[in-house]
Amino acid sequence: MTDPAKISYMFTLAPMEYSDSVKEIFEDYINVIKKNFGKLENKFIDLTRLDFSGNFFNSLKFGSLFALQLGFFFGELLLHAVLSALFGGLFILLYGAAVYGMKLYGYVTMGILLSIEYLFSFFKRIAFSCPNCQAKHKMPTYLCKCGRKHKKLMPSSAGLLKRECVCGEKLACSLFSGRHRLSGRWLCPDCDYEIGGPLHTDIPIPVVAGPNAGKTCFIISAIMELEKNSERKHDLLFEYHENPQLGDDYYDNKRQIERGNAPLKTRDSRLRYYQFYLTPRGKKIRNMVSLCDVAGEVFAHGDDVIQPGFKNAAAYLIIVDPLSIPALRADLDPAVVARTRFSTRPMDEVVNILIKTLELFGVKESQHAHIDIAVVFTKCDTPGIDDIIGNRAVMRTMQTSGIESRLEAQNAVCQSALMKYGEANFLNAIRSQFRSLQFFTTSALGESGQAFNPIGVDEPILWLVDKVSPDINLKAKWGKKI
């Protein structure tokens, strides 16, 4: 399907006009030659009608005059033929050089603009992930005010910097001419779902966990903390991008948590996108972070995890319920375990299902080996867990081992606990499949009926965004550029 735009003059109309002009010049040239041949032919006819039987001198005089006229017409024919061909050919060459030189300039300029846009998009990770059909595209469809769709609003034969819709609307079609400032709507090319815009760094992060691992509570609490603290603590502008048509329940769950109630349980069998912008102040390119949530029950059976969005991930986040580790659970007070809901899905199986899902979509091991992953232990406020794998254990490790970085201390505590409680398979699977791995210990809840007091829930998101985004540098938070 071609875009509903008028083709630029230099690419089609100019060559067409040139072709018409050449045709017209050629026809005029033929007509001039024919006209002069006609004159010459008439003189030859007149020659046959002359009567040379009279006075010899009169016949010679008339014959000489006639020969001069014949020579004149023949010379005129030759002159017209040569000069018309010479000047006509020169005009055609100059005109053709101008027209096709302009066309060549257009294609060269188009190639340069497209190359710059491609490189810019590649290094800045400009793209978008559709929360409806889970497809990933470099450029969304632009919906003009007249209702016509421009699927490729980029430098093309319709215009290098601007194009004209068939309705007459002038549209910027390049990054350099302000395409991102157009006032129309932007749609997914596959399903026509409306998205935020054409100029943002796409950071989709699937959040993976077993049932009852506390995933939805973590996601909602993390977004709330980012909304509250991003600008004040990190000079990052936060803006939530709601998807109400797809059952976005962030604001409903936010109210639940503010009242001291647990968030609504996710029951979707498909990815639900919680999307928000997280952008350094003064930057034009915004970071669109998509936390992709799917019901933990989906991970009960590996064959059910058919989520196309997984293959488009910029990073992964795995939620681990410490109570899902049988040996660790055995070290806790049975009364605490009895009154706490926990995930029964082994964590190594959750990771294996994730890897299997990526393989189903043709994502090779070499590809996800270049992706960052955060492993988040939740429910670290549970009595007894804080001393094993929670904040208290992290602080103790920093004091006794001389580790200054909290990130390194969390890695040390979590990996030590995994080895101690028989989860070496999980640890080895994560280490072998993904580029960089960081463990986090968090707590998303507090006492029931009171406002929750989450601890560390925003750090995994910030760490992943910092790793992925070219424009975000949270060196002040981590103590170094990660």
- Tens of pLDDT along 234-249? 999 999 999 988 888 8
25-29, 103-107, 245-249, 337-341: the lowest-pLDDT one: 25-29
In the predicted model, is pLDDT for residue 255 greater than 70? yes
For the record, the structure tokens of 11 come out as 């690419």
Identify the CA nearest to 213 among candidates 99, 141, 293, 121: 293
Query: In this predicted structure, what is the pLDDT of residue 419?
Result: 93
What is the pLDDT, as a whole number, of residue 447?
45
Question: For residues 455 and 376, which has the higher predicted lDDT (pLDDT)?
Answer: 376
Where is pLDDT greater, at 109 or 54?
109
pLDDT level of residue 477 (50, 70, 90 thresholds) = confident
**Residue 268 in this model has a pLDDT that exceeds 60:** yes
Q: Go through 40-55 and write b for each residue having 16 or more CB atoms within 10 A of its CB, e for each that does not.
A: beebeeeeeeeeeeee
Assign 410 a pLDDT band (cuts: 50, 70, 90): very high
The label of the residue with tokens 């398979």 reads 425
What average pLDDT does this structure show over 248-261? 86
The pLDDT tens digits of the residues spanning 344-391 come to 888 888 888 787 777 776 666 666 667 899 999 988 888 889 889 988
- What contacts 478, CB < 8 A, 6 or more positions away? 405, 407, 463, 466
- Higher pLDDT: 300 or 292? It is 292
Q: Is the pLDDT of residue 205 over 90?
A: yes
With H, G, I as helix, E, B as strand and everything else as coil, classify residue 153.
coil
Pairwise pLDDT comparison (68 vs 104), residue with the higher score = 104
Residue 439 structure tokens: 């463990």
